[in-house]
Amino acid sequence: MKVIKVAASVLKVNDTIALENQAAFRDNNVFVVNVMGSPGAGKTSLLLRTIEALKDNIRIGVIEGDIATSHDAELIQATGVPVVQINTEGACHLDAMMIKMALTHFNLAEIDLLFIENVGNLVCPAGFRLGENARVVVSSVPEGDDKPKKYPGMFRIADGVVLNKIDLLHAFEFNINTFKEDVRRAGELPIFEVSCKTKDGLSVWLDWLGVKKK
């Protein structure tokens, strides 16, 4: 018997497919944002506000990831932008293959900005690249200020953090400085303090999107 050292990282088939998605997006000039965060953080609400603000100027598309329902996709559909629903049937995250299949339902040449709403989860989606240009974590005041500390993996891979529901700050013991410090520990990320209810702070988020897209 003999032990052979290998030290090879297992090629994630997911990464290969993510690269194919990325090439398709690049060829069609589509800017893709992967929106992640806990269940109920406000991912769909943020998309609805963003679509409302931008849809007259930019051609937007949405892929909705959901474990079982099409509730969020119906809300998006009502805005008139093209939306494709992916039901993961139990899986806690979207993967690149699901996106590749969803893309067959879009004409990418007719989209400038594609949002992918991931399954509500602060752990698993971080490990699966989809071929996106930017990854955004939506966190919200009622979840508590300790999320960046408890789920650093998600914040480490993010390009931007949206702190939603700031209209509720008065009702929760939420220390915004603690939140920011722990985000900074994960990386130099922009943090957008917004309320999708009152629309406070949304313009800074929209400006960032615009700059990123260029």
Partner 1 sequence: MKKVHEISFAQSILDIATNTALQNNANNVLNIRLRIGEYSCINLDSLQFAFSCISQGSLAEGAELITTGCLGSDTIEVESIEVDE
Ligand X SMILES: Nc1nc2c(ncn2[C@@H]2O[C@H](COP(=O)(O)OP(=O)(O)OP(=O)(O)O)[C@@H](O)[C@H]2O)c(=O)[nH]1
Interface with ligand X (CB under 6 A) = 37, 39-45, 72, 120, 164-165, 167-168, 195-197
Out of 43, 93, 135, 147, the only residue in the binding site for Mg ion (CB under 5 A) is 43
Nearer to partner 1, 9 or 177 (CB): 9
Nearer to ligand X, 168 or 206 (CB): 168
| CA–CA separation, 187 and 119 (whole Å) | 23
37 binds, among ligand X, partner 1, Mg ion, none (CB under 5 to 8 A by kind): ligand X
Per CB under 8 A, residues contacting partner 1 are: 1-14, 86-93, 95, 97-98, 101, 123-124, 126-128, 152-153
Q: Does 72 bind Mg ion (CB under 5 A)?
A: yes
Stretch that binds Mg ion, among 44-52, 54-62, 128-136, 157-165 (CB under 5 A): 44-52
Stretch that binds Mg ion, among 24-32, 40-48, 79-87, 126-134 (CB under 5 A): 40-48
The candidate with the shortest Cα–Cα distance to 155, out of 128, 198, 114, 184, is: 184
| CA–CA separation, 195 and 199 (whole Å) | 5
The candidate with the shortest Cα–Cα distance to 109, out of 51, 52, 48, 26, is: 26
Nearer to ligand X, 17 or 151 (CB): 151
The candidate with the shortest Cα–Cα distance to 207, out of 164, 165, 168, 160, is: 160
For residue 85, give Cα distances in angstroms to 77, 114, 115, 174, 187. Answer: 10, 13, 12, 34, 32
| CA–CA separation, 45 and 195 (whole Å) | 9
